[in-house]
Each structure stands twice: as structure tokens, then as C-alpha cells.
């Protein structure tokens, strides 16, 4: 009874399916910060046994999206302004490092990837797949650093950051500034090979987003 091996929308293992679902739910706030994640409850929700769920939760620990307390189960990672600012600081430092390295080792291949990802992001403005394209663009900027661990950290921090975006946006997702122009600045400087400007533009991009979000985060 082969399940028609769908290479497209596959859910190979139950663990992976649970991992992806839970991750998304935590990122977008369906599972709010600090919430207890009871196995039974999730078991019912995801229609699978306890094992894959426990395993998925354990894996989500890596991403700092889930906390595990021995003998006391799992909970969605807590959120706070201090934590948000920590993420912002670390992200700025690490992405700065990665971006400079990327540019220092620039190749035409990489430039092409960059052009492509930037184009796709622009084209998807407004679409619900924009978020993915946006992350891809940012990660492409860093990918050329050829530093897998650094890349992983940055990816992690990116996700943690957009989590706060969802938390802040009680609905109002619009911002007054021109995000597209900011991306353009980073992009232009990067393909131009101007590390200094690219880094400055990137950091300013993050600082602005950070300030905006901080004001929105009255709660917590």
C-alpha cells in the first residue's frame, strides 16, 4: 500500500510532520509563549502517537522554540522584551560577520543567486509566500560565507525574530517605512561588493525593524 511517494508535499515521517506543524504553530503564535505543551493534547491535535511528538519537541529545543524541563514536560519558549533585544543584538553581530565574509568571497555564481532571490521576493510582495522568499533572500546574502554553523545561528535567530513580529502584530502588520527600498539598498551594495555599505544598510534595516517592534510590544 505505497502512499504514492509524493516527492512534492511529502511528510516522510510522523516526527517530521509534527516538527513542522509545531514549529509553525509556535512561530505564528498559535502556541503562545510559555504555554504548556501537553503530549495528550498535541496527540489529539496531530493525530499521532506520543513518541513522534516527544521527539519533535525535543528537536525544537535546538531552535530555542521549546523548553524542556525534566520530569515536567515541554513548553513553548517564553518571550520578553529583553529576549527580543538579545536576539536583535546577536543577529546584528552575526549577520554582519556573515555578510562581510560573503561579500569578501563573492563569486558570480553567488551574485546570480542573490539577483534571483531578490527578484522573487519583490515579485511576491503581498503574497502569503512572501515570508519564505524574504527569508531566502536574507539567507542567500549570508550563504556565501561558507560557514554552516554561522548560517545555522543566523537562520535560528531569523526565525526567533519573526516570531516576535507575529507576536507584535496583533493584526496591524503594516509599517510606514519602505521595506522594499531597504532591501534594495542592501542588495545593491552586496552585488556591488561594497561590504561597508551593505553591512550598514543591513544593520539599519534591523535596527529600524527592532525599534518598530519594540514599541509594539507593550504586552509581555
Partner DNA sequence: CCGCATAAAAATATCGATATTTATTGACAT
Partner DNA sequence: ATGTCAATAAATATCGATATTTTTATGCGG
Contacting residues toward DNA, per CB under 7 A: 2-3, 12-15, 36-40, 48-52, 54-55, 69-74
**Residues of 31-54 as b/e, b for ≥16 C-beta within 10 angstroms?**
bebebebeeeebbeebebeeebbb
Rg (CA), the chain: 19
Query: Which of 61, 105, 107, 129 is close enough to bind a copy of itself by CB under 8 A?
Result: 61
- Does the protein bind a copy of itself through residue 147 (CB under 8 A)? yes
- Does the protein bind a copy of itself through residue 71 (CB under 8 A)? yes
Site string (105-144) toward a copy of itself, x via CB under 8 A: ----------------------------------------
Say if residues 120 and 138 touch (Cβ distance below 8 Å): no
User: Which residues in 52-148 belong to E strands, given as ranges?
Assistant: 66-69, 73-76
Which residue do the cell numbers 525534566 mark? 70
Site string (151-170) toward a copy of itself, x via CB under 8 A: --x-----------------
- Length, in residues, of the chain: 220
Query: Which of 2, 12, 108, 215 is close enough to bind a copy of itself by CB under 8 A?
Result: 12
Q: What is the rounded CA–CA span in Å between residue 106 and residue 34?
A: 42
Residue 47 or 215 with smaller CB distance to DNA = 47
The CB-of-89 to a copy of itself minimum distance in angstroms stands at 8
The CB-of-9 to DNA minimum distance in angstroms stands at 15
**Helix H or strand E segment including 36:** strand 36-37
Say if residues 96 and 195 touch (Cβ distance below 8 Å): no
Residue 54 or 163 with smaller CB distance to DNA = 54
Say if residues 187 and 111 touch (Cβ distance below 8 Å): no
Residue 58 or 214 with smaller CB distance to a copy of itself = 58
Q: Which residues bind a copy of itself (CB under 8 A)?
A: 12-13, 15-16, 51, 54-55, 58-59, 61-62, 64, 68, 70-71, 83, 86-87, 89-90, 93, 97, 147-150, 153
Amino acid at each position: 500500500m505505497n502512499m504514492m511517494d509524493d516527492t512534492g508535499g511529502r511528510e516522510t515521517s510522523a516526527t517530521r510532520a509534527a516538527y513542522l506543524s509545531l514549529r509553525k504553530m509556535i512561530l505564528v503564535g498559535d502556541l503562545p509563549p510559555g504555554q504548556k505543551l501537553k503530549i495528550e493534547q498535541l496527540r489529539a491535535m496531530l493525530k499521532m502517537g506520543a513518541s513522534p511528538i516527544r521527539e519533535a519537541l525535543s528537536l525544537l529545543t535546538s531552535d530555542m522554540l521549546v523548553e524542556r524541563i525534566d520530569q515536567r514536560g515541554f513548553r513553548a519558549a517564553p518571550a520578553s522584551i529583553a529576549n527580543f533585544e538579545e536576539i536583535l543584538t546577536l543577529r546584528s553581530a552575526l549577520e554582519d560577520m556573515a555578510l562581510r565574509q560573503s561579500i569578501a568571497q563573492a563569486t558570480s555564481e553567488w551574485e546570480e543567486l542573490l539577483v534571483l532571490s531578490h527578484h522573487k521576493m519583490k515579485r511576491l510582495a503581498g503574497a502569503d509566500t512572501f515570508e519564505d522568499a524574504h527569508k531566502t533572500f536574507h539567507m542567500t546574502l549570508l550563504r556565501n560565507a561558507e560557514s554552516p554553523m554561522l548560517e545555522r545561528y543566523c537562520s535560528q535567530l531569523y526565525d526567533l525574530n519573526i516570531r516576535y513580529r507575529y507576536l507584535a502584530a496583533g493584526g496591524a502588520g503594516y509599517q510606514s517605512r519602505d521595506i522594499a527600498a531597504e532591501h534594495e539598498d542592501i542588495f545593491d551594495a552586496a552585488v556591488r561588493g561594497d561590504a561597508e555599505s551593505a553591512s550598514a544598510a543591513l544593520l539599519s534595516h534591523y535596527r529600524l525593524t527592532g525599534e518598530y517592534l519594540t514599541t509594539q510590544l507593550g504586552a509581555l
